[in-house]
Amino acid sequence: MKKLLAMLMAAAMLVSFAACGGNKEEETTVAPEATTVENVAGEVEETEGETEIVTEVVTEIVTNADGETEIVSEVVTKEVEKATKDNAKKTTKADVKKTTKADAKKTTEAAKEESKKPSSKAEIVEYFNTAVNGVKTGAKAVNQKSIVNYLAAPTTIGDGLKSIYNMLGGDDWLDKTLQSNSTGAATYTGSDIKKNFPVETESWASKLTADDVADAKCTESNGVYTITIKTKADAKTTSVQHGQGHNPKVFSVVLPATINDNIPGIAKGITGDVAMNYPSGTVVVKVDAATGHVLEAEYDAHWTINFDKMNTALPFATKFTYTISW
């Protein structure tokens, strides 16, 4: 409708100018205080070349020399460059095509990477098992940064031992004693990897199932997965072995038999058999998403020695930190 209206106005102005052009005596001098009311765009004629014809109708209210006002309209036709429409269209298409192609490639790669990343608890545990078990079968070297023993929580000391324990320094003394028996840097290769990388002495590093795990997370950054496994706690026991329960399936925890077999007979009459329980522990590994190789590993294992005959519980923990070479 606006286009049709502009055409009609242009036609009417042309007829008006033609009529006025035959009578030169009626020409009017426009006063300098003329005020523009509106500019209405007219028909746009597109050409096949690089230019186009644009027609505009300009209408003004002016005051003549006698102080009278009148409406004066003028049709202006001009040729302008036609750069905008076609060239902009080509440029836009080229840019969009180029950008879309690059973005699509990145999106596809990201989608593939995302599809490989384990998401459910069961998938994460399975992926974790494959990765850490691969350390024992394929790693060139395991670089131990440290193994730190520490007191994980306040102890419970029976009345028969409390005075002696407090005289030695209590929990502060025990924590310092544990930490002083920590281990520093070491590098393991060949069969030594099996002996020292958790689970120590075993040919495997994890036998966890989803039922052994309280929580499992996997995040990705720059092609590296960070997997965090939190185990379920184990109840007190005197007979658990590696590969049983929850925590002994992934941690190098102290086993009940290890302590009971080394308590002298006389002392055992006082202490009785030791029972162990294993609070929830955490493993964090960084895995190269492209190869599935473990790059770093940190184990925080918790184990509590229970001397039930003496009403004593010692909540210990050990933190293992490694980097892996392939």
pLDDT digits (tens, 9 = 90+) for 98-113: 556 666 555 555 555 5
pLDDT at 115: 58
Distances (CA, A) of 161 to 103, 157, 164, 165, 312: 69, 6, 6, 6, 8
Please tell me the pTM assigned to this model.
Answer: 0.66
Q: What is the mean pLDDT of residues 15-39?
A: 44
> For residue 325, is pLDDT > 70?
yes
Q: Residue 263's pLDDT is what?
A: 84
Over the chain, what is the mean pLDDT? 80
pLDDT of residue 270: 82
Distance from C-alpha of 128 to C-alpha of 139, rounded to nearest angstrom: 15
pLDDT over threshold 60, residue 260 = yes
Instruction: Average the pLDDT over 32-60 and give the result.
Output: 51
- CA angle 228/229/232 to nearest 5° reads 150
Cα–Cα dist 122/232, whole Å: 15
Query: CA angle at residue 276 from 272 to 283, to 5 degrees?
Result: 160
Q: Quick one: CA dihedral 237, 235, 258, 263, positive or negative?
A: negative
Asked if pLDDT for residue 240 goes beyond 80, the answer is yes
